[in-house]
Amino acid sequence: MKFKERVFSGMQPTGSLHLGNYLGAMLKWIDLQKTHECIYCVVDLHAITVWQDPAELRQAIRQVTAAYIAAGLDPKKSVLFNQSQVSAHAELAWVFNCVARLGWLNRMTQFKEKAGKDREAASVGLYAYPNLMAADILAYRATHVPVGEDQKQHLELSRDIAQKFNNDFSDAIRSAGYDDGEFFPLPEPVIVGPATRVMSLRDGSRKMSKSEPSDLSRVNLTDDTDLIAKKIRKAKTDPEALPSEIEGLSGRPEAENLVGIYAALSGTAKSDVLSEFGGRQFSEFKPALADLCVERIGPIADETRRLMADPAEIDRVLADGAGRAHNIADPILGEVKDIVGLIRSAS
Ligand code: AQP
């Protein structure tokens, strides 16, 4: 079946968003909004796979929503909501818990990283996280998922789940009128650009992350201009000048990271950045990067703060988005229930 192109993606309200979230995913979200029907979610059910302080979680849901809007997502154009308001996500996730195989989940590297050494103490939710992610996407039969590189493996699992559902229930799917037996699309990851994996500013071998204890490791979308400039100034580098060719970045993770950030923020390629800065020292490159970062991130932080002053308006945006999300997801979930053999409510 030729599925209508539809975009879905989300971020966890586990803290304030950072440059990695912005460059790895959100820039593409904003782009896709011009050409596609887009559904962007604050994935609060994912956030509680690790314990969250309830008051801080509520605050973070609103803050991530405000950051989405401040960064350029238009809630009139795109559907913008928080996951827990649309029950189809959790309901479809249960069906997928029964489709996905333990062996598949055992291979997920993010669970291994997040659970750490004490796997027995990790929540069942953290383990089943990728099934919920598949449900997030497929509840809307989304075809394209703009994410950072770290989500590639989870996206592959979503495709496997979609394929297995289509196979397991192929007769029922055909009986429901889908002659080719394809009920779910196999969603495609959209992982493009010069900064699909932004690394920590303190350690070029670690991903920039909300949960990294050192705040100097990331630029938050809520940082003021002085703090942004300070973090770039203090970013770890090596003593060499920047190379003029891409090949010269190999084995220099910190240099590669900063060049990638510059390229993504300026809408160019790493090779263009090196044409301009090749042969120059970090003492010259860092101020240029700090200025660019302040110019691009500063206004997002200001606008996020302005929006956060009116939480009732943010809640209204979320409720409106949830209503629109329900309208798309509920009929799809109804069909899933029919296909699986459940009896859905008559209303
Ligand atoms: N460092 C990164 N570089 C590029 N893309 C990134 N993303 C996250 N970090 C980077 C992308 O941002 C989207 C939302 O991520 P998330 O909030 O759902 O969770 P995450 O990937 O687990 O991000 P964090 O910051 O590492 O959160 P914590 O610390 O809470 O686990 C995704 O598209 C992701 O690829």
Structure confidence by residue, pLDDT tens digits, 235-244: 999 999 999 9
Q: How far is CA 161 from CA 7, 97, 110, 184, in A?
A: 18, 9, 18, 9
How far is 191 from 123, CA to CA, in rounded Å? 29
How far is 19 from 214, CA to CA, in rounded Å? 15
CA angle at 299 for the pair 71 and 307, rounded to the nearest 5°: 65
- Is there an atom of ligand 1 within 6 Å of 14 CB? yes
DSSP 66: H
Residue 16 pLDDT: 84
- Is there an atom of ligand 1 within 6 Å of 303 CB? no
- Compute the distance from residue 148 Cα to the ligand 1 centre, in Å: 7
Residue 211 pLDDT: 85
List, as own/partner pairs, every contact residues 45-53 make where C-beta atoms lie below 8 angstroms and the sequence separation is at least 24, other chains included. Answer: 45/83, 45/84, 45/89, 45/90, 45/132, 46/10, 46/12, 46/83, 46/129, 46/132, 46/133, 47/12, 47/13, 47/14, 48/125, 49/123, 49/125, 49/126, 49/129, 50/14, 50/114, 50/123, 50/126, 52/14
Residues labelled catalytic:
114, 207, 210
- Compute the distance from residue 265 Cα to the ligand 1 centre, in Å: 17
Q: Give me the domains of the chain, ranges plus CATH numbers.
A: 6-196+310-340 (3.40.50.620), 215-306 (1.10.240.10)
Residue 42 pLDDT: 98
- Is there an atom of ligand 1 within 6 Å of 221 CB? no
Q: Hey, what's the torsion of the CAs at 211, 25, 1, 101, to 10 degrees?
A: -20
State which ligand 1 atom lies nearest to the alpha carbon of 9.
33
**Three-state DSSP string of 97-129:** HCCCCHHHHHCCHHHHHHHCCCHHHCCHHHHHH
Instruction: Give the mutation target among 50, 57, 64, 151 for probing the ligand 1 site: most ligand atoms within 8 A of CB.
Output: 151
Distance separating the N- and C-terminal Cα atoms of the chain = 29
* Per-run averaged pLDDT (10 residues), the chain, 347 residues: 93 94 96 97 98 97 98 98 98 98 97 93 98 98 97 98 98 96 97 95 94 94 95 96 96 96 96 96 97 96 96 98 98 98 87
- Is there an atom of ligand 1 within 6 Å of 12 CB? yes
- Is there an atom of ligand 1 within 6 Å of 207 CB? yes
List helix spans (H) across the chain: 19-21, 27-32, 44-47, 54-71, 88-97, 102-106, 109-115, 124-138, 152-168, 170-175, 225-233, 253-266, 270-277, 282-308, 311-340
- Compute the distance from residue 226 Cα to the ligand 1 centre, in Å: 24
- Compute the distance from residue 17 Cα to the ligand 1 centre, in Å: 9
Query: What angle in degrees, to the nearest 10, is found between the helix axes of 54-71 and 311-340?
Result: 100
DSSP 199: B
Contact between 187 and 144 under an 8 Å Cβ cutoff? The reply is yes
Residue 347 pLDDT: 67
Residue with the smallest CA separation from ligand 1 atom 8 is 21
Residue 232 pLDDT: 97
- Is there an atom of ligand 1 within 6 Å of 337 CB? no
State which ligand 1 atom lies nearest to the alpha carbon of 147.
33
How far is 64 from 113, CA to CA, in rounded Å? 24
- Is there an atom of ligand 1 within 6 Å of 155 CB? no
Task: Output b/e per residue, 159-169; b: 16+ Cβ within 10 A.
Answer: bbbbebbbeeb
State which ligand 1 atom lies nearest to the alpha carbon of 21.
12
Indicate the residue type of 209.
S
Indicate the residue type of 212.
E
- Is there an atom of ligand 1 within 6 Å of 236 CB? no
- Compute the distance from residue 41 Cα to the ligand 1 centre, in Å: 14
Residue 346 pLDDT: 77
Residue 106 pLDDT: 97
